[in-house]
Amino acid sequence: MNTDQIDLTGRRIIVTGASRGLGRAMATAFVRHGARVLITATNQEALDEVMAECDKSSGDCIAVTADVTQPKDLDRMIHMAEMVFGGTDVLVNNAGIAVSSLRADFWQRPVRFWEVEMADYRRFFEINTFSALQLSRAVIPGMMARGWGRIINITTSLDTMLRPGMAPYGGSKSALEAMTAVMGGDLEGTGVTANVLTPGGPADTRMVPKEMGLPREALISAQAMVPPAVWLASNESDGVTACRFLAANWSPELPLKQALENARAPAAWMGYGTKAVIPGLEPRAVEATN
């Protein structure tokens, strides 16, 4: 599906971790499509570069320097969106930290779970999981009152979450994946949806360092995130919730139905909700589509 014609004029969007990589690609695309976008990161200089790029587009963009591990900064982001935009329609929880921050050559020398300091575990969960949860809790009341909203959580490939040597990244991202499935169920019928978007493999960003030894040309471009992200932020995705989308499998040139079939699956793990035996509760059926 070609999403170039999707109009996001007036849509109010927050993108965390928007100064580089996946976040920058999605944020600038939202602005090009007419949205009003609040971008956040810890690096003001990098945010200024994104702002300069957005100035050439039809939408609107403001930047807030923020550390997502600090609850006060998260509150300030929400307050700024309320003050400037009047609310938030779409929240993209993209801010993240990877295993490469612990050891650049982790691919050759895996970081075993007992080698990670508890302070690092807490830092990973604060950035990759808890910040997304706090921001989602803050924007949900307004979205539900308006009867429309989007939570888009950026996680990672399911096998990456379970791969040896990926603690604490795998644990923190799998927690966000599972939470997205819960969100989607809790929000059913409200007009607000919660979905996962992931590149579908190693992406050409600084979170995949050169020490991994992977050829850069073989990595997934950050721009691959743009078509599914724009679609998820639009009315075109009404009713689609608790799903995960692999950007690498989304083919913009295909009709929507086929693009969805290629890229979509249930959020979290296939077969979730069907194993536990709970008295009086039927096992939940897993559907490939919603």
What pLDDT digit, counting tens, does each position of 188-210 carry? Answer: 999 999 999 999 988 877 777 67
- What is the band of 99 on the pLDDT scale with cuts at 50, 70, 90? very high
CA atoms within 13 A on the CB side of 136: 24
The architecture in CATH of the region 12-266 reads: 3-Layer(aba) Sandwich (3.40)
Task: Please compute the mean of the pLDDT values over residues 89-118 and round it to a whole number.
Answer: 94
Q: Write down the domain spans for the chain.
A: 12-266
289 falls in which pLDDT band (50, 70, 90)?
very low
Assess contact for 250 and 224: CB atoms under 8 A. Answer: yes
Cβ proximity of 31 and 61 under 8 Å: yes
- pTM of the shown model: 0.92
- Residues designated catalytic: 169
Are the beta carbons of 13 and 30 closer than 8 angstroms? yes
* The amino acid at 32: R
- Residue 107 CB neighbours (<10 A): 17
Report how far residue 57's alpha carbon sits from residue 11's, in angstroms, rounded to the nearest whole number: 15
First to last CA, the chain: 18
Residue-level pLDDT at 281: 61
Residue 275 pLDDT class (50, 70, 90 cuts) = low
Q: CA-CA distance, 18 to 266, in Å (whole number)? A: 26
